[in-house]
Amino acid sequence: MVSIQSVTFRMLFAVLAISVLAHAAKPQLRDAVLLNGTWTQGGVVPARGGVTIGSNQTYTYQRDVAVPAAWAGKIIKLYFGAVNTYSEVYVNGTLAGTNLGFWAPFEVDVTTRVTPGQTFTLRVDVRSVLSSPVTVNGNLMTPVGCDCCSFDGGNSGIVEDVWLRAYGTVAINDAFIKTSWRNKTISVDYTLKNYGTASRTVTIQGDITPDAGGAIVKSIAGNGVTLAAGEERVVTITSPWTDALLWQPDHPNLYHLTSRIAEGAATIDQETRRFGFREFYIVGTDFMLNGIHVNLRGDNIACGEVPQTFYDSAWVAGIYDKMMKQINLNCFRRHNSTTPEYLMDIGDEKGMLIINESPIYGASFNPQHDGNYFANTKKWWPSWIKWARNHPSVIEWSMANEALGMISLQQTQELAALTKQLDPTRPTMVEERESWAAFNLDVRMEHYPEGYMVTPTPGNLYNWSQFIAANKPSGAGEILYGIPDNQWWKGTMVRTMRYANWDDIRMYKLNFLWNVASTDAQFVNIANGHNPVALFDKEYDNLGIDPIKNANYPSLAAGANITRTLVLYNDEFTDTTITVLVEIKSGATTYAAGAKTYGLALGSHKDISCSFQAPYVGGSNFDMVLTTKKAGAARFSEIRRFRATGGTAGTSGLTVTLGGLAVGVGPAFSCRPQSESPEMLIVRGRLILPAGVTRARLFDMQGNLVRVIAGGSDLALAGLRAGSYIARIGHNGAERSLRFIVAP
């Protein structure tokens, strides 16, 4: 005899391979000297977590810098990735430049102040939010992001890389690389400047190579350009590109664009930028990435609320992996601060999607400010957008966070318009409550749609329709803050919001999971709630957290015929074929099972009716095990537990019946109707056959026919000796194979 516990089987599906792309180190922009390290005065540069600078104090960084002799005749600039918040830059004791701005880059031209082949002394004096000119007479002069919360002078100092760079006398000051999946083109806006005193005629050539190295895969070139003395001009080169490897979360392919300015046969300037070929855009109410409907499932990582390890690139790379592969997130927003360069770089390499937010932040703090605040914001705004717009990981611009006390609705719209001028390729939005103010940006955002610090009401968890826009994507940027058991609720509420077609769902916050084991019950609930190929019991989730937290399971009568509504999701980037498996178990005994393979468009979900007879286990618990597979590989598994009432006498049905059309049935599906093997289950010693099976033959590994069935719903396995077997199944006009093992 063969017990059900001893029968195992394995489908002969191909295993989905997830590529791990090799990435080279990010290329250096141009001929340059990196000035990071321990400076003579001021300590380590950059200090990504910042230093604390007190009221009316100046923090000084100083070091000597050797200028390469080969830079004779070049334009020489200092580049600061970010200095928070006011800085004065001195060269050999003479003021060379100043900057007022929080976590945004700036340059200082030092060509006339340094000599190639010699050394100069660089000094940077920094003041924080606690001092003038950041705060003047009690008025905040510029956005300071998370410093609005603490106002303690933290997050200050040199927080990004410092470079000394060489440029040609006609140089590329900027290059905006725009790729279009819809048009199959690459377009580059080159900002060229003639630093000389005479007119110059030059040409531009660009060569594209894979990030991992290799030969040139594409070249672009422009016509000759004549620039007057001192003239700066934007020159655009557009070229078709039909075979580019796409950048997206499941395969974040990257390229390098090496651009040269030539005058005759001589190269007079050269730079290299990294980019990815992708297009993120909106169609109706949907976000699209490279023609794929993408639903954002993410987090908010708040500036000033992260461990010191978050400033280590290797540690962050591991956290991105955990966020994407274990917690099942695909995006995040750097809350109340622009996204630092290293976070964007790692996002580019890992395929993480990033919402880049300005440091305009008010909330309940709303520091005193005057008209200088907005005027200064507009001054540094272009440097922020230009800094980040070549990162493929950056998909949206957030104008501000909870900032109606700092800038008006009209000023928010003005910044959105400025952003569109600088980058027309990405959507704009603001992290606010659209129900309070009609911002009319590209995305309708709603902070805390459940109500601020309001505990959700079980039984009414799908009631979101009033927040879903009819003409644009809808997002909930911060959800579930400050309520009891909010870590439990985060894994449940996301399910109801996905069902209601929110396009951007971000709980506040999920970074507590960084240090939680993936087997923890809260972790599992959140990870399952965000799983891209999930299968949820709609009615069960509407009960809230009581069953999963307190083990107060819903009751079903033993022997009753039950119909549940399951919701199947396909939020991955490939494969529209999903196999659904449902098993009814109590303890180690399986009472019924069913499977069906569905076609489901990427970025969509569908309801599936699920009918079964509750097992005769009155007084005990039983489980509904929900599983999804793609190409034979498991994508999701979750247990929903019930309490059986009534008696134990009776014979339960063997089959779980799943509604809806399977792949290849009817005109609604066209995705590979004959390419998938039928999914089968073993229940109580019988091989359960799916609909469409016309013949089943069972062979041992020597090729001997041991069982046969022509039509019917199951094939008895009792009496088989231990060993491996092949079942040849006639299914929808084709023969498929299933191998399974009978254990001794």
Residues 28, 345: Cα–Cα separation, whole Å: 13
437-477 per-position pLDDT tens digit? 899 999 999 999 999 899 999 999 999 999 999 999 999 99
Q: What amino acid is encoded at 131 in this protein?
A: S
Q: Is residue 705 part of a domain?
A: yes
What pLDDT was estimated at residue 672? 26
Q: Pick the more confident residue, 671 or 521.
A: 521
Give me the sheet containing 681-683, strands edge to edge: 681-683, 686-688, 714-716
518: Cβ contacts below 8 Å, ≥ 6 apart: 326, 524, 527
658 and 591 in a common domain:
yes
Position of tokens 């110059």? 200
Taking residues 272-287, report their average pLDDT. Answer: 97
Q: What was the pLDDT predicted at 304?
A: 76
Residue 272's pLDDT band, with cuts at 50, 70 and 90, is very high
Do 485 and 506 lie in one domain? The reply is: yes
Cα 324-327-328 angle, rounded to 5 deg? 55
Query: What percent of the chain is modeled with pLDDT above 70?
Result: 88
Domain residues for the domain of 690 are 4-17+540-742
Return the CATH number at 63: 2.60.120.260
CA distance 213 to 675: 36
Start-to-end CA span in the chain (Å): 10
> Does any domain span residue 404?
no
pLDDT of 556 reads: 98
Count Cα neighbours of 580 within 13 Å in the Cβ-side half-sphere.
Answer: 33
Predicted local distance difference test score (pLDDT) of residue 699: 75
Establish whether the linkage from the previous residue to 428 is cis, with ω within 30° of 0.
Answer: no
pLDDT by residue (tens digit) across 366-390? 788 999 999 999 999 999 999 999 9
Q: Which of 167, 189, 205 is the last residue of a domain?
A: 167
| Residue 27 within any structural domain of the chain | no
Residue 667 has pLDDT above 50, yes or no: no
Q: Where are the beta strands (DSSP E) in 408-464?
A: 428-431, 444-445
Per-residue model confidence (pLDDT) at position 692: 62
Task: Quote the pLDDT of residue 701.
Answer: 60
The backbone torsions φ and ψ at residue 673, rounded to the nearest 5 degrees and listed phi first, read -65, -25
> Tokens 């997830």, residue?
18
Mean pLDDT of 689-694: 62
d(C-alpha 709, C-alpha 652), whole Å: 23
Beta strands in 620-702 (DSSP E): 621-630, 633-645, 657-658, 681-683, 686-688, 693-700
Asked whether residue 505 falls in the same domain as residue 604, the answer is: no
At 707, is the pLDDT very low, low, confident or very high (cuts 50, 70, 90)? Answer: confident
Residue 69 is given by DSSP the state: G
Q: Is the pLDDT of residue 623 over 90?
A: yes
Domain end call among 104, 137, 167: 167
pLDDT digits (tens, 9 = 90+) for 575-615: 999 999 999 999 999 999 999 999 999 999 999 999 999 99
Q: Are 134 and 192 within one domain?
A: no
What mean pLDDT do residues 16-42 have? 81
- For 547, 592, 655, the CA distances from 618, given in Å and listed in that order, are 19, 16, 19
Q: Which tokens hold the place of 54? A: 């007190």
Q: How far apart are CA 387 and CA 390, in angstroms?
A: 8
CA distance linking residue 503 with residue 501, whole number of Å? 6
Query: HSE-up of 109 (CA within 13 Å, CB side)?
Result: 9
- Say if CB 155 and CB 304 are below 8 A apart: yes
According to DSSP, the residues that pair with 63 across neighbouring strands are 122
666 Rama sector, left if φ>0, alpha if ψ -120 to 50, beta otherwise: left
Q: Are the C-beta atoms of 629 and 579 separated by less than 8 Å?
A: yes
Q: Which of 582, 579, 583 is CA-nearest to residue 599?
A: 579
Question: Is 615 found in the same domain as 468?
Answer: no
Beta bridge partners of 121: 64
Output the pLDDT for position 663.
61
- Please state the rounded mean pLDDT for residues 266-287: 97
Cα–Cα dist 23/253, whole Å: 9
Q: How confident is the model at residue 708 (pLDDT cuts 50, 70, 90)?
A: confident
Task: Say whether pLDDT at 555 is over 50.
Answer: yes
Strand partners, 116: none
Q: How many CB atoms sit inside 10 A of residue 534's CB?
A: 24
Longest dimension (CA), the chain: 99
Q: Measuring CA to CA, which residue among 452, 526, 456, 455 is closest to residue 495?
A: 526
Same domain assignment for residues 273 and 285: no
Same domain, 469 and 330: yes
435/63 Cα distance (integer angstroms): 52
Report residue 592: phi and psi, to 5°. Answer: -155, 155
353 beta partners? 331
Residue 382 belongs to some domain of the structure: no
For residue 119, tell me if it sits in a domain. yes
Residue 502: CATH number of its domain: 3.20.20.80
Give the pLDDT score at 122. Answer: 98
In CATH, what number is assigned to the domain containing residue 197?
2.60.40.10
pLDDT one-digit tens code per residue, 158-189? 999 999 999 999 999 999 999 999 999 999 99
Domain count, the chain: 4
For residues 339 and 388, the answer to whether their CB atoms sit within 8 Å is yes
More confident residue, 386 or 741: 386
Residue 303, pLDDT score:
82
Question: pLDDT for 43-92, tens place per residue?
Answer: 999 999 899 999 999 999 999 999 999 999 999 999 999 999 999 999 99
What is the predicted pLDDT for the residue at 698?
77
Task: Find the radius of gyration of the CA atoms of the chain.
Answer: 30
Strand order in the sheet with 296-302: 428-431, 394-401, 353-357, 331-335, 296-302, 504-506, 474-476, 444-445
Task: Identify the domain boundary among 499, 530, 561.
Answer: 530
Distance of CA 500 to the CA centre of its chain: 20
Q: Is residue 42 part of a domain?
A: yes
Convert the pLDDT of each residue in 475-532 to its tens digit.
999 999 989 999 999 999 999 999 999 999 999 999 999 999 999 999 999 999 999 9
**What pLDDT is recorded for position 263?**
96
Residue 734 has pLDDT above 70, yes or no: no
pTM of the model: 0.89
Exposure of 410 by Cβ count < 10 A (0-12 exposed, 13-18 middle, 19+ buried)? exposed
Q: Which residue has the tokens 């990981």?
A: 393
Entry field: residues in the chain = 744
Please indicate, yes or no, whether residues 138 and 251 belong to a single structural domain of this protein: no
Name the pairing type of β-strands 32-34 and 162-167: antiparallel
Share of the chain above pLDDT 90, in %: 78
Does residue 230 sit in the same domain as residue 84? no
* pLDDT digit string, tens, across residues 417-444: 999 999 999 999 999 988 888 999 999 9
Segment 298-322 shows an average pLDDT of 92
- Is 741 or 574 the better-scoring residue by pLDDT? 574
Strands 555-557 and 633-645: parallel
Inter-CA distances, 349 with 250, 251, 274, 426, Å: 11, 9, 11, 20
Q: What are the tokens at 553?
A: 């399971």
Same-domain pairing of 183 and 58: no
Whether residue 680 is predicted with pLDDT greater than 60 in this model: the reply is: no
* CA distances, 227 to each of 177, 195, 498, 742 (Å): 22, 10, 54, 80
What residues contact 441, with CB distance under 8 A and at least 6 apart? 399, 412, 413, 416, 427, 428, 429, 430
The verdict on residue 415 lying in a domain is no
Is the pLDDT confidence value at 19 over 60? no
Nearest to 147 by CA among 102, 194, 108: 102
* Cα separation values, 337 from 186, 300, 334, 356, 417, Å: 30, 11, 6, 8, 20
Tell the residue number behind the tokens 């919402």, with chain if given.
Answer: 355
**What is the distance between the alpha carbons of residues 92 and 509, in angstroms, rounded to a whole number?**
47
- Residues 90-145 have pLDDT tens digits of 999 999 999 999 989 999 999 999 999 999 999 999 999 999 999 999 999 999 98
Q: Do residue 589 and residue 706 come from a single domain?
A: yes
Helix (H) or strand (E) holding 88: strand 86-91
The whole-number pLDDT of residue 652 equals 87
d(CA 193, CA 104): 22
Q: What are phi and psi of 249, to 5 degrees?
A: -55, -35
Same-domain status, 519 and 608? no
Mean of all residue pLDDT scores within the chain? 90
Question: 603 — phi, psi (to 5°)?
Answer: 80, 15
The per-residue pLDDT for 743 is: 57
Look at residue 223 and tell me if it is in a domain.
Answer: yes
Q: Is the pLDDT of residue 230 over 70?
A: yes
pLDDT (mean) for 20-49: 90
Higher pLDDT, residue 458 or 151:
458
CA–CA–CA angle 678, 681, 683 (5° rounding): 155
